[in-house]
């Protein structure tokens, strides 16, 4: 089951396609279409027309002159690109798979090809929804493809047949009922632009509040049509509703719900979109071949007296039902037998059923029906194929809800293709359980290619899994499932009690609802019942009454006595006669009725009922109850010693029952005869009525002549009345002119004054007595030298002229010159009006200055100033202040332009909260700066509220990037100090512990500890000078030499430049300090003339890699010998250096002095690049 809230659409990276089909007369609308089509909508356009197969086509070059988009003829497999036009080549069909457009040779002969249908079908099956445009053309190509696109949730736009040079193709597309827009080609181009720009937003809006609004829409639909779509898959409904949002131009589901309430016609449009009435003959030919082999052939092997009964569920326009009928007739002809065949074809779409009953289909069915079958089962009438009567007579088409209405029974085959895929899993289980109940044990269930019986594996077993043919499992019996029934139950489930205009109002309506609930409970718990009218036709079935139904073969009849099982027909007819004709109740004796191999006792109880109104009683009706007395125990076999009297009694009973059946048949014939006589009598009465009408018409003619004389008298009165009206209108006009204070001049074609209004006297030196004089004869107080010239231009161009002119006293006037039109739309002069706009000009000047000050303030500010729409969907203006890129005009992609993707959810959440509470928006967040980097800003926007609603937002944002960087640097510095202090304390603690262990006395400890702290401090100072990036080995050695080398002793230093890491410098400094301390106390620096030579060099190893080789050599000191125990210096030399850097240290106590060699790897721990 689909539980997500999304809408199925095109996969990521798939280019949306607009397929355009045209034929004869199609070039002109193609020109109009592409002339008015925006070139940047992101669509790929595929144009398919009917071309001569042997002639080259110049259509691509012709269309190239109508548009700036690239136009190309498809030569081979082509990858679609947006904003590009692709044209079909001659003698090739086009199909689309993903983004791949491929030409292929036609399989059909010339004259039977339908390239538009082929393209549209490939779009519908391979990509989902799309856009299809049908323009001028002959024939019906495109009709089947339009239905497929409609089924996939696409949009259909059709040229107005009255505008098209050839309207057959547009009419064929419109006849399918799938057209979403009908109009001229130029308007189709505008509609494509609207749809392309709004598709993504509409799909998003179609999911907003869906959980709340969709049930209310479905409830309103059920209330108006009686159809329940609550069990349909959520995503299917959302896709269909998204289509309706596009077609009706509603911006959200809530708005669409209001539109649906106020527009009853939209109910049918939504119903048609939800009812997927799309099919064609022998859909999936391999599946129909398997059906003929695995289901229909075995049916004829075991056919009984009642023949073959088939139910086609969701038959749409009938192609599938006729396909199965053709297979049955072919098998019967092959066996040369006559078998009663009855096919019940049902659907919810009444319009589709009307098409099915007519059995008339366009010539495009030639693509799916073989020539032999067309000759055998169809009659051709021009471009239309009609199903022959021998096929149509096998099928009864009826409106039927498979989930609500009782099913047909004792069926040999049920075909339900491509219906279950639109139902939720629970409804799929219900439908499959109904099918299992209605099928005979050896019957078959035929499903669509995308469907299966996974929801009820315990009820069916596959016959051909690939072709979706199943058979009921043997030994599995289920009762008729509980069907949907109560309108009030549905209303409650849909939430109609919350729906304004649909909720129950007042106590009377609450009582009515309780009464309905009571009746529904009675129908559930009472014995199964049927309500019939005075003609015995069924009016209403209780939920379990279908258990006792068994319609016979032949034409369908609603007469209850023919619908019930054969064993009950006589008793039902007798009980109905008593109840309807005599007004008496009747309870029949129980009879044995067979139900799926078992027999049960059933009695009939008929009760007369009559609908009572305030003024009269309605026609007689009857309520028939089916009283189930339980199963009948099997009787033991008759004894072979049965007496002759018992045999005679049994035969007499059989004769009596046969006589009663004949009597019933005779009575039925008599009733039919009486009915025919009634009809004849009504026809005679109708003829008599026609004669009476003719007499009345003659009398009427006489009265009309008399009335003509009266009309002539009336005309005179009307003329007098009109003169009075004209006089009144003249007075009204003069009062209007005086009240409006608008100066007006009425001029004739020679610019003579015809009439003036009083305010003109203040501008022109004219009076009413100056009528008939030329306007140029008068002076005026306006700085308007071009008045006469503008008046002449109005007369010559028949256009209006507007000026703003100033009078001599400083006032401003809006002068408007318009042609004077008479009531018969004839130009007969010029009307000149002068409106005083002095105050408006002052207000505009004040506003202009205010805007200039505001603009100067904005430009001078270093902050960002911006203006947003009420819902923040559009940034109307932004002044970046050098921080952000300016936006002079409205844009809708401001979020992606200015806000990094990872910060957008936080920003939108704050915006939604501010909109909801109508409060100030405040947030510190990151932005993309004008130089492309990411910075920080603090943004604050204030809503402008008018009449309780937000009309726009004004905001400002400051650059907080430097402050944020300083804060980050401060935090980094604090963390670094923390780290270094902890490391320093750890080293000091380690020095103290090591010194304490090797010290002989407390004074010795303090002395050594101070020296080592001083050495550590000197190293720390050296590193501090280099900003703790490291230290030079030479500087380190010189620092040690200057510390320990006293007067009279020397030190030699030699080696290449080596930069040590801070950790390496600290450890090596401690080691050198220990060597220097030892040399000062016991070695070369302990007596005059002593010398220490410190050298280092790089050495390469054969295995690869460089090493640092350092030597400390002492000369001129006392003789040295190895110590008895290792002290702190030895620990530092051999422990720390070896442990931390993976090096080796060797101490050679030679007679001339100590030689210490260190061999260390030059890696990242020691060496700093």
| Residues classed as catalytic | 23, 50, 141
CB 610 within 8 A of CB 531: no
Local structure of residue 801 (DSSP, 8 states): E
Beta bridge partner(s), residue 601: 592
Locate tokens 């702290």: which residue? Answer: 1013
Closest CA to 130 of 150, 116, 100: 150
The pair of three-digit structure tokens given for residue 442, joined into one six-digit string:
């050896």
The pair of three-digit structure tokens given for residue 1109, joined into one six-digit string:
């080789």
The pair of three-digit structure tokens given for residue 1108, joined into one six-digit string:
């640092």
Q: How many CA atoms lie within 13 A of 224 on its CB side?
A: 19
Closest CA to 897 of 943, 863, 866, 932: 932
What pairing do the DSSP bridges indicate for beta strands 411-416 and 308-313?
parallel
Local structure of residue 366 (DSSP, 8 states): G
Burial of 664 (0-12, 13-18, 19+ CB in 10 A): middle
CB 486 within 8 A of CB 462: no
Compute the distance between CA of residue 918 and CA of residue 942 in angstroms, rounded to an integer. 9
DSSP 3-state percent helix, strand, coil across the chain (nearest 5): 45, 25, 30
Beta bridge partner(s), residue 1099: 1107
Closest CA to 547 of 530, 571, 570: 530
The count of residues in the chain is: 1169
Give the contacts of 580 (CB within 8 A, at least 6 positions apart): 534, 536, 608, 620, 621, 622
Task: Supply φ then ψ for residue 878, to 5 degrees.
Answer: -150, 125
CB 10 within 8 A of CB 127: yes
Tell me the torsion sign for CA atoms 1067, 1069, 1070, 1074.
positive
Closest CA to 522 of 537, 552, 544: 544
**What is the helix (H) or strand (E) element at residue 326, kind and residue range?**
helix 319-335
Give the contacts of 810 (CB within 8 A, at least 6 positions apart): 838
Beta bridge partner(s), residue 1059: 1032
90 three-class SS:
coil
The pair of three-digit structure tokens given for residue 819, joined into one six-digit string:
């042609």
Tell me the torsion sign for CA atoms 320, 325, 328, 331.
negative
Alpha carbon distance, N-terminus to C-terminus of the chain: 62
Compute the distance between CA of residue 986 and CA of residue 980 in angstroms, rounded to an integer. 10
Q: CA 427, 431, 435 angle in degrees (round to 5)?
A: 170
Local structure of residue 825 (DSSP, 8 states): S
Closest CA to 461 of 170, 453, 665, 397: 453
Burial of 768 (0-12, 13-18, 19+ CB in 10 A): exposed
Chain centroid to CA 768: 68
The pair of three-digit structure tokens given for residue 403, joined into one six-digit string:
């989930």
711 three-class SS:
helix
Cβ count within 10 A of residue 626: 23
Tell me the torsion sign for CA atoms 33, 35, 37, 39.
positive
């Amino acid at each position: 089951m689909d539980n997500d809230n999304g809408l199925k659409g095109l996969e990521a990276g798939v280019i949306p396609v607009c397929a355009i089909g045209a034929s004869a007369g199609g070039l002109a609308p193609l020109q109009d279409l592409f002339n008015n089509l925006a070139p940047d909508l992101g669509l790929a356009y595929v144009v398919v027309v009917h071309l001569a197969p042997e002639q080259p086509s110049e259509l691509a070059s012709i269309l190239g002159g109508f548009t700036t988009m690239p136009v190309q003829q498809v030569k081979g497999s082509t990858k679609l690109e947006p904003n590009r036009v692709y044209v079909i080549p001659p003698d090739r069909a086009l199909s689309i798979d993903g983004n791949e457009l491929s030409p292929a040779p036609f399989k059909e002969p010339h004259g039977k090809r339908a390239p538009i249908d082929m393209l549209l079908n490939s779009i519908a099956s391979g990509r989902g929804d799309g856009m299809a445009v049908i323009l001028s053309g002959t024939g019906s190509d495109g009709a089947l493809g339009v239905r497929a696109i409609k089924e996939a949730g696409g949009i259909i736009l059709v040229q107005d047949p009255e505008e098209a040079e050839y309207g057959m193709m547009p009419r064929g597309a419109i006849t399918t009922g799938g057209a979403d827009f009908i109009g001229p080609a130029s308007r189709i181009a505008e509609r494509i632009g609207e749809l392309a720009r709004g598709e993504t937003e509409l799909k998003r809006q179609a999911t907003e509040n869906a959980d709340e609004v969709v049930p209310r829409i479905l409830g309103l639909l059920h209330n108006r049509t009686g159809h329940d779509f609550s069990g349909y898959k959520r995503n299917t409904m959302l896709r269909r509703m998204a289509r309706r949002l596009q077609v009706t131009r509603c911006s959200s589901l809530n708005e669409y719900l209001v539109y649906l309430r106020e527009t009853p016609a939209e109910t049918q449009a939504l119903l048609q979109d939800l009812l997927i009435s799309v099919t064609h003959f022998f859909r999936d030919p391999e599946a129909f071949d398997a059906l003929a082999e695995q289901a229909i052939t075995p049916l004829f092997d075991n056919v009984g007296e009642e023949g073959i009964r088939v139910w086609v569920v969701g038959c749409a326009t009938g192609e599938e039902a006729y396909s199965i009928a053709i297979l049955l007739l072919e098998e019967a002809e092959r066996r040369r037998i006559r078998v009663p065949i009855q096919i019940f074809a049902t659907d919810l779409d009444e319009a589709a059923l009307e098409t099915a009953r007519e059995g008339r289909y366009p010539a495009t069915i030639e693509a799916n029906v073989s020539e032999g079958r067309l000759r055998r089962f169809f009659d051709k009438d021009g471009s239309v194929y009609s199903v022959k009567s021998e096929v149509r007579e096998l099928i009864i088409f009826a409106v039927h809800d498979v989930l609500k209405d009782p099913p047909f029974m004792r069926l040999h085959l049920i075909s339900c293709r491509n219906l279950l895929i639109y139902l939720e899993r629970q409804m799929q289980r219900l439908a499959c359980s109904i099918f299992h109940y209605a099928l005979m044990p050896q019957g078959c269930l035929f499903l669509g290619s995308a469907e299966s019986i996974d929801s009820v594996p315990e009820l069916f077993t596959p016959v051909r899994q690939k072709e979706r043919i199943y058979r009921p499992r043997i030994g599995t019996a289920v009762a008729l499932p509980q069907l949907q029934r109560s309108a009030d139950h549905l209303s409650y489930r849909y939430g109609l009690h919350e729906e304004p205009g649909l909720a129950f109002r007042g106590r009377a309506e609450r009582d009515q609802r309780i009464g309905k609930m009571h009746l529904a409970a009675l129908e559930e718990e009472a014995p199964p019942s049927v309500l019939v009218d005075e003609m015995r036709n069924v009016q209403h079935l209780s939920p379990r009454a279908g258990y006792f139904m068994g319609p016979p073969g032949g034409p369908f009849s609603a007469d209850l006595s023919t619908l019930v099982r054969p064993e009950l027909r006589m008793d039902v007819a007798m009980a109905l006669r008593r109840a309807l004709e005599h007004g008496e109740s009747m309870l029949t004796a129980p009879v044995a009725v067979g139900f799926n191999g078992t027999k049960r006792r059933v009695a009939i109880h008929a009760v007369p009922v009559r609908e009572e109104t305030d003024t009269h009683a309605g026609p007689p009706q009857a309520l028939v109850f089916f009283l189930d007395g339980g199963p009948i125990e099997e009787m033991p076999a008759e004894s072979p010693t049965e007496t002759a009297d018992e045999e005679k009694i049994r035969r007499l009973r059989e004769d009596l029952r046969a006589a009663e059946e004949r009597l019933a048949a005779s009575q039925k014939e008599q009733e039919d005869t009486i009915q025919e006589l009634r009809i004849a009598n009504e026809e005679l009465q109708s003829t008599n009525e026609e004669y009476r009408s003719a007499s009345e018409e003659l009398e009427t003619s006489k009265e009309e002549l008399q009335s003509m004389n009266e009309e002539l008298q009336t005309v005179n009165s009307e003329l007098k009345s009109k003169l009075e009206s004209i006089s009144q209108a003249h007075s009204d006009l003069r009062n209007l002119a005086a009240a409006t204070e608008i100066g007006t001049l009425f001029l004739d074609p020679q610019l003579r004054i015809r009439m003036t209004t009083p305010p003109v006297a203040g501008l022109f030196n004219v009076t009413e007595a100056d009528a008939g004089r030329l306007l140029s004869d008068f002076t005026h107080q306006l700085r308007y030298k071009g008045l006469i010239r503008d008046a002449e231009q109005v007369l010559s161009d028949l256009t209006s002229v507007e000026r703003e002119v100033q009078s001599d006293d400083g006032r401003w006037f809006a002068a408007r010159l318009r042609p004077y039109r008479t009531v018969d739309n004839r130009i007969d002069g010029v009307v000149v009006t002068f409106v005083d706009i002095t105050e408006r000009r002052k207000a505009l000047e004040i506003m202009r200055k205010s805007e200039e000050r505001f603009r100067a303030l904005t430009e001078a500010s270093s902050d960002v100033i911006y203006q947003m729409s009420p819902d923040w969907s559009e940034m109307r203006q932004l002044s970046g202040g050098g921080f952000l890129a300016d936006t002079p005009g409205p844009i809708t992609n401001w979020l992606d332009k200015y806000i990094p993707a990872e910060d957008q959810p936080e920003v939108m959440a704050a915006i939604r909260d501010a909109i909801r509470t109508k409060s100030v928006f405040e947030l510190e967040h990151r932005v993309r700066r004008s130089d492309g980097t990411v910075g920080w800003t603090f943004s604050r926007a204030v809503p402008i509220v008018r009449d309780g609603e937000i009309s726009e937002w004004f905001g400002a944002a400051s650059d907080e990037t430097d402050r944020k960087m300083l804060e980050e640097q401060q935090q980094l510095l604090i963390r670094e100090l923390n780290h270094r202090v902890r490391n320093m304390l750890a080293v000091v603690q380690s020095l103290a512990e090591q010194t304490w262990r090797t010290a002989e006395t407390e004074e010795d400890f303090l002395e050594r500890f101070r020296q080592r702290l001083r050495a550590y401090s000197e190293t720390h100072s050296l590193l501090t000078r280099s900003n703790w990036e490291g230290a030079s080995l030479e500087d380190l050695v010189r620092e040690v030499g200057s510390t320990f080398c006293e007067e009279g002793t020397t030190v030699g230093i030699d080696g290449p430049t080596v930069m040590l890491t801070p950790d390496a410098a600290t450890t090596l400094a401690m080691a050198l300090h220990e060597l220097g301390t030892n040399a000062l106390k016991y070695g070369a620096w302990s007596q005059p003339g002593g010398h220490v030579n410190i050298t280092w060099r790089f050495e390469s190893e054969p295995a690869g890699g460089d090493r640092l080789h350092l030597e400390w050599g002492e000369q001129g000191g006392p003789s040295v010998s190895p110590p008895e125990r290792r002290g702190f210096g030895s620990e530092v030399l051999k422990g720390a250096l070896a442990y931390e850097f993976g090096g080796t240290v060797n101490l050679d106590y030679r007679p001339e002095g100590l030689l210490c060699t260190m061999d260390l790897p030059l890696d990242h721990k020691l060496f700093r690049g």
